Amino acid sequence: MRLIIAEKPSLARAIAEALPGRPAREDGALVVGDTTVTWCLGHLLEQAPPDAYDPALKQWRLDHLPILPAEWKLMPRPRARGQLAVIRRLLKSAREVVHAGDPDREGQLLVQEVIEHLGWRGEVSRLLVSDLNRPAVQRALSRLEDNARYQPLYRAAESRARADWLYGINLTRAWTLTGRQAGHDGVLSVGRVQTPVLGLVVRRDAEIRDFAPRPFFVLWVDLEVEGGQLRAWWQPGETHPLDDQGRLLVREPAADLAERLPGAGGRLVRLESRDKRQAPPLPYSLSALQVDAARRFGLSAKAVLDICQRLYERHKLITYPRSDCRYLPEEHFASARATLEGACRQDDTLRDWLAGADFSRRSRAWNDKQVGAHHALAPTGKPADTSRLEKAEADVFRLIARNVLAQFYPPLATREVKAEFAVAGEAFRARGQEILAPGWKPLFTTREEAPPLPPLTEGEPCRVREAGVEDRETRPPEPFTDASLIKAMMNIGRHVEDPAVRRTLREHDGLGTEATRAGIIETLVERGYLVRRAKALRATRLGSALIASLPDAVGRPERTALWEQRLAAIAEAGDDPAPFLASLVEDLRGLLTSADAGGLRQALATARGEEPAAAGRAPARRRGNASRRRRGSGASRSGRSRSSS
């Protein structure tokens, strides 16, 4: 018997339906000829709790820390024992095993840890499915690989799970116990991803709260030129009081000049014109889709992830959604027309976009060198009857289809014009943009660009019709939203102060993963560290106090981003995981010495922030059940996704 172990039931059904023959249902499996397809239910196994290593560790005590397992143990998740028993039974009759986890680091871990835990010693093949439609699954079945090729990916995922356990268990226990000494009776959860994300929000809120607006002043003139009229802006010189962005800090020079300008003549002294061609936006990764869907439809990152899972698993309308890639395999180009014609057939909006596509065009999106374990999100070709989808599902599907359709549209061609005028001995500048060819732009709702300028000739005269001064003031940064926080997590190097570290992070830029970012935000809300105020995400007093009490490095992104760099080296270059974990343990020992009841007491007393929503969940209270205490220890995977803490 050939045994295929899928990550979840929906994938198992798609595999069974792609095999020759009619699937027969058995307990926990589907049988098609000589092949049996079974499944996991997300993670069937989890890291064992501390008391599995030593019963004394069930009690939380500072003198037990750090807890460092000498030999790592896994244990069945409570609701997974039945399916684990099914797989154990089937393995006993198998002559060949096929690993059919999702094509990512976590998918590799999820199935392989079950195979190893149950003691299988034979060969294992790897089946990579990113599209649940039958033809795609059949192609994948014809291209089985040796699972040994993916051993580095498994070791990286295993190292990540162990590192999260070490970091979360030890720091959560240390700060929770110190918090009790400081008078706080709740669990203070610390994680290597969730805490830096919380730190981003806490610091942004502090910038907003402490922001002191400063007035500045701008002078405009409406100029009459031969070809029409335009508005230009005064460029004050260095003799005037300016801030570091060249903004005028006192009103008088602008007001005095404005009084003298009406009727004054001048000349166009410099004219720059540049034609630009802009390629269409690439197809979506999950995070890029979450950012756009949040901005356009107000959907939370978690809502977008859930919608994508339904479009992938239930409706089979899109390819594997938990992708960090924005490129498509070159082999997909040949079938793109048929795929998109099928996907767009039953929706008026999509049919209109399809009508403008030129399938002889080949954009930069088709690039095998940029495609890793998975490719960008794309329609599968199954006709999408958007009238039978929920509105949010239809909205998100159209975005995904639109960005692939845009690859068959011409570039956006524009002409940017910059003009500088000399009037009354002062410089005034204007800029405009003219759309020469709209290309892909009509498919997108984009911000308005500068309107075009009238025809201009360098050296031509101008005359001031009117002038005015606008009183403005500097504005604080915007609070984080789901969209901007996801974007910050994607581009975390921009939030790193050390230039050397920022350079290091350019190739490994990201906090969390495509699959975990939405869950991290929701976890912080559930634990009472963040609240939503309309679209804004704000830190609570408890969240602010936790960040204030921790060593600065724990609440900043440098450490976890560098972790991802080390994990990438394990996954991609086959580095030994042992030095990574050894350096983590050394780091932990230093961090644990920073737990201080006095500092935490002061942080809890002086923290500023929002109060949790009345309907939200309060932070976890002290629990006697050790398994529930583990919520503070790190990542958890509920059914489908593992949310790094």
Would you please indicate which residues are annotated as catalytic (active-site) residues?
Answer: 320
Q: ∠ CA 477-284-329 to the nearest 5 degrees?
A: 145
Distance CA 197, CA 190 (A): 11
Distance CA 130, CA 132 (A): 7
Q: Is 298 helix (H, G, I), strand (E, B) or coil?
A: coil
> Pairing relation of β-strands 412-423 and 426-437?
antiparallel
Decide: 161 and 155 in contact? Cβ < 8 Å: no
Structure tokens given for 235: 């460029």
Query: What is the CB-side half-sphere exposure of residue 45 using CA atoms within 13 A?
Result: 23
Q: For residue 54, give every residue at least 6 positions away whose Cβ sits within 8 Å of its Cβ, in sequence order, or none.
A: none
Centroid of chain to Cα 414: 31
Centroid of chain to Cα 612: 25
Q: ∠ CA 179-180-181 to the nearest 5 degrees?
A: 90
What stretches of 51-150 show up as alpha helix (H) in DSSP?
81-93, 105-117, 134-141
Which residue in the block uniquely carries the two structure tokens 């992708």? 323
Which residue in the block uniquely carries the two structure tokens 């871990």? 109
Distance CA 526, CA 429 (A): 51
Distance CA 397, CA 391 (A): 10
